[in-house]
Structure 1
Amino acid sequence: MVGQKASDKIGECICILEELYGLPEVDEIDPVDLLVRTILSQNTSDINSLRAFASLKRAYGDYESLLSTRAEEVAESIREGGLAEIKARRIQEALLRIKSDRGAIEIGFLGGMEKEAAMSYLLSLPGVGPKTASIVLLFAFGMPFMPVDTHVFRVSQRLGLVAPGLSPEKAQKALEEIVPPERYSSFHLNLISHGRLVCRARGPKCEECALQGCCDFFLQGQKP
């Protein structure tokens, strides 16, 4: 039904997505690796960012050696991830700040902090915004944050789960209020899958979509 409250239909959306894509398995990953990988994922595809991360790990045995290398050389190792110069600088500056603060390049201490304090620390690092910080805290530490990337933002707006005109940061807060915390991971990953495969930015496959019955975009007859 068009206009159905987001809080009333979120459970249906979650169930449909889990029927389609299952309960995603999340591999255990070193928190610093996840931070670096997520910085590399900014403004590029997963394929390119994962290739860039693999290249970075091959080029540098550890993050200490990465810090001792010129930014231009680091940029060459992550070239296929896009925005290489900017990302190389951000990664080095973030790692340097962590080392300065903690005496080592590790962020395991975040797991012992209150969630908002952990978020504030990550946001203080160069190149780290709410999405990057939320991904690290959710997937490395199990903290209840709902990361909002471009797919999550687009699909949740089309479904009517967040109000039109909200910023991604406010959309995150809105989703965190209606999605059960134990489903943050599942909903985030499944919404990304759905955004890539069906609810695409251009040419969404509305006629094939299993979420038709709870999608404002479809029920209002809007054109892609």
Structure 2
Amino acid sequence: MALLYRADLTPGKLDLIAGWLPGRPWYRGPAAPQPERVSAFRFDDPAGEVGVETILVRAEPDGPVYQIPLTYRDTPLPGAEAWLLGTSEHSVLGTRWIYDAAGDPVYAAVLAAAILAGGTEAAEEISTDEGLVSRTPAMSVRGTGTPGADVPAVTAVAAVKDADPTVITTDSLTLALARVLDGALPAGPALLWGERALAAVV
């Protein structure tokens, strides 16, 4: 379950994405984008410490859709300065360090688990004064693996090739992440599927 809050985030996620996106080697939009959220989904961090959200955005009307997974942390991730979009002030949780999740081992672990064990997006609940309120996720995803399958433990990201697809090499497996959702992922059975293939274990 992803626990959310009715809160303000300053600067907002789209503001941070707007400043970060033009520096990506796979980006092909305007120099000063005004990203528009197309959809989003979340995964659970089993430890309950790191927020994991994938946002799909367009940088311009009728432009391609970009897949941008983010992780939200309450302290900096050591050694991940290259993947930091910036910090933001959350009106409930305080300062959040927001990362391109390609460089975060928690994202690699939950993505691999979703793909190999047939996982889905997390259920979402919003914390309110009246208690927890369920919210329907904006989109659904599913891994093509088998529920209950063994998933190699991922504890570190060894290397990231920041291209399209982005290739994430961990200490136990390699993942490919589609960035521009009109391209292609490596063929194979181990995929995360939305309306199209979003990521793969390769």
Report TM bin, short chain. Answer: under 0.3
TM-score by length of 1: 0.24
Return the structure number with greater strand share.
2
**Structure of higher RCO (CA pairs closer than 8 Å, 6+ residues apart):** 1
TM-score by length of 2: 0.26
More helix by share: 1
